[in-house]
Amino acid sequence: MHAKLPRRVLGSTGLEVSVLGFGASPLGSVFEEINEADGIAAVHEAFRLGINVFDTSPFYGATKSETVLGKALKDLPREQIVVCTKVGRYGPELFDFSAERITASVAESLARLQTPYIDLLQCHDIEFAPLDQIVNETLPALARLKERGLVRFVGITGLPLGVFPYVLDRAPPGAVDVVLSYCHYSLNDTSLAGLVPYLRAKGLGVISASPLSMGLLTKQGPPSWHPAPPEVKAACAAAASHCAAQGVDISSLALKFALRNPDIATTLVGMASVEVVRANVESALAALGAGGGDAAGGTSEAAGAELRALAEVERILAPARDVTWPSGRPEN
């Protein structure tokens, strides 16, 4: 792998981010138990191969992800890295978006990440908060942290797409720089595309996470806690079986599909091993024609098999297309 991983500009932040970003939730052992040394090696390999965005949260593995990422980052040139973490979510049912808690939370994250500043600080899963609190209390507190130089840019994350315009239509310009959406730009769900023109018009950077639909689009399948309804799980399992029978890697197919959308600055994939990092960088280079493959992403024979598999996967996934699941407060 000699080609360079392409970068895209993250909205009006001006940050140039690698199209493939390192999702650090697996470093918190949220999918399976991981060995810390393997996780650190994965971060180092990702950086070596051109990944410059690393996304974590105090929620992932009850702070373990931030701690492991911090240990890995201290050996890398900090100014070349975009460190993203979050505030507000601390457990499956534990949320606190108050100014007091998030200010303390940032101090704790800085210590765990072993860094003097966070490039992108995001309100984590805002559908679990009263959205007016995000507008009136959380974002102003984050603006004060920006003024103190502890945070460079501010983002909001969540599952239901409707929470983003609610907050963005009420917050002052510049209060939010980036939106992180997850499980809405993948082979089975592309509903984020409908929101992109609105986000672009506001100059926001767009991050998409979970292009493998949190493990649904993998040969090993999703973790037991996966919240998708049965018809989505069944359709994705059928798509994975079809790919396996054709000798096609469904994760590579899914990642290439997600990375080809130029409106998404970076796509975060969960990774915790050197092997998975290498496989995903290789898929990214093939998808964007930067790895010596043809336009379809790979050698002609393999690309032909992938194109045929893609058509069949889209047919298999059609009954579950854009089907999602409830998340957050009923009013959101």
Annotated catalytic residues are: 60
| Cross-strand bridge partners of residue 179 | 156, 206
As measured in angstroms, the least distance from the Cβ of 9 to ligand NAD is: 20
DSSP helix/strand/coil, 140: helix
Under 8 Å between Cβ of 58 and 85: yes
Q: Which two tokens stand for residue 229?
A: 């309804």
211 counts as binding ligand NAD under rule CB under 6 A: yes
Among 157, 261, 324, 332, which residue interacts with ligand NAD (rule: CB under 6 A)?
Answer: 157
Q: Which is nearer to ligand NAD, 238 or 276 (CB)?
A: 276
Under 8 Å between Cβ of 187 and 239: yes
DSSP helix/strand/coil, 73: helix
Q: Which is nearer to ligand NAD, 148 or 244 (CB)?
A: 244
Q: Which is nearer to ligand NAD, 13 or 213 (CB)?
A: 213
270 counts as binding ligand NAD under rule CB under 6 A: yes
As measured in angstroms, the least distance from the Cβ of 251 to ligand NAD is: 3
Range in contact with ligand NAD (rule: CB under 6 A) among 6-14, 276-284, 285-293, 302-310: 276-284
Q: Please identify which residue in the block is written with the tokens 């600055």.
A: 265
Q: Please identify which residue in the block is written with the tokens 């009923």.
A: 330
Other Cβ atoms within 10 Å of 262 Cβ, number = 10
Q: Which of 103, 109, 111 is nearest to 148 (CA)?
A: 103
Among 64, 71, 124, 256, which residue interacts with ligand NAD (rule: CB under 6 A)?
Answer: 124
55 counts as binding ligand NAD under rule CB under 6 A: yes
280 counts as binding ligand NAD under rule CB under 6 A: yes
Among 62, 279, 303, 323, which residue interacts with ligand NAD (rule: CB under 6 A)?
Answer: 279
CA 238 from chain center: how many Å? Answer: 24
Size of the site for ligand NAD (CB under 6 A): 27
Q: Which helix (H) or strand (E) holds 304?
A: helix 300-317
269 counts as binding ligand NAD under rule CB under 6 A: yes
Q: Which is nearer to ligand NAD, 30 or 148 (CB)?
A: 30
218 counts as binding ligand NAD under rule CB under 6 A: yes
24 counts as binding ligand NAD under rule CB under 6 A: yes
266 counts as binding ligand NAD under rule CB under 6 A: no
What is the SS3 assignment for 240-292? HHHHHHHCCCHHHHHHHHHHCCCCCCEEEEECCCHHHHHHHHHHHHHHCCCCC
Instruction: List interacting residues with ligand NAD (CB under 6 A).
Output: 23-26, 31, 55, 124-125, 157, 180, 182, 209-215, 218, 251, 268-271, 276, 279-280
